[in-house]
Each structure stands twice: as C-alpha cells, then as structure tokens.
Amino acid sequence: YNLFLNFSLKHMSMINRMLYLNRIVIPAQHKYWQEIINEPKFDNSTPEKVMQSCNSHKEWEHKLTYSLFQQEELIMHLRKLIDDCIALYCVAKQKFNKAGKPLESIGELINQIDKFSEFKKHLYYLKIVNDLSNSLKHSVINPIYIRIGQNEPCVFTVSSKKDKKNSFIYNDLGIA
C-alpha cells in the first residue's frame, strides 16, 4: 500500500477531468451559445421569449436542451474537482473534522471556514459552485428556468430558500 501512489492517481484523475472540461465541455457550450445567440430570430429578452423562440424552432430547443445537460455536467465535474482538492489538501496537511476524518466537500469546508483561513479568500467562489451544484441536484424549478447569457455562455439555476416556500435564490456563473 503506497499513499504516494494514491495521491498520484487522484491527481492524474483531477488533471484529466480539467482537460476534459477545457477541451470538450466548455468549447461545446460556447459553440451552442454562439449558434443560439447569433440567430437573428432568437429573442433572448426574457425567459418567456426564450421559451417562445425555442417552441417555434425545434432545432433551437434541442440545442438548448443539450446545452443545459452539458451545463449540469460542467457543474458536476467542477464540484468533483473542488471536493477532491479539499480532500487531498486536508489529508496532506492533516486537517480533520470533529469525527477525525478529512473534509471531503465544499459544504463541509464552508461550514468550517474559520478553521481554514487559507480558503477564506475563495469563499465567494466556493459558495457559488456549492449553490449551483445543490440547486441542480435538488431544485424542481431548474428545468423550466431557461436563460441564455448575453455576453458569454452562463449557467443559471434557481433554488428555493430553506424553510421559505415563495422565496427563491437565482444563481449564475459565466463559463467563457
């Protein structure tokens, strides 16, 4: 059993995941966004107009649906990368939670951010990725909330605030 070999394999997996995102998923997102946003008949002024445009042109609906699936994949991979970085960092630095285990997720890190001052400067970004990931995973509203970034491809999600039925959180992240 070689701990260094396990770190090396995890590191290689993380590099491959980043390469996949940068070479395949992000360029595909940009391509679909360019095709949709540059279509003269496509109206991106409101979510309702986006839906109307998609309903009148089935090929846009398919492109937009495929794009939304890729956005989910992008956020899932990004979340996995950050979770892996947190876990590796905690193992390497021997920083453990109350149960004596290394932290393994963004959520755990956010909840204990005071113990990890080295991550405080990244807290805003970590919260965005965490909120996007959780809303894609748990929110029923997302499939009907269709938006297109105006200046770049973006991921948009909607989630409800905990314990508040009619209060929503809108999350977005540019991916250009």
86-138 pLDDT tens trace? 988 888 888 887 788 888 899 999 998 998 889 999 999 999 899 888 888 87
Residue 42 pLDDT > 60, yes or no? yes
Q: How far apart are CA 12 and CA 103, in angstroms?
A: 20
Distances (CA, A) of 10 to 25, 75, 89: 21, 19, 12
Mean pLDDT of 149-175: 68
Mean pLDDT of 55-65: 74
Read off the pLDDT band of 34 (50, 70, 90). confident
| The predicted structure's pLDDT at residue 145 | 52
Q: How far apart are CA 148 and CA 159, in angstroms?
A: 18
| The predicted structure's pLDDT at residue 95 | 83
Q: Which of 85, 93, 159, 151 is nearest to 128 (CA)?
A: 159
Read off the pLDDT band of 68 (50, 70, 90). confident
| The predicted structure's pLDDT at residue 109 | 93
Q: How far apart are CA 104 and CA 95, in angstroms?
A: 11
DSSP state of 102: B
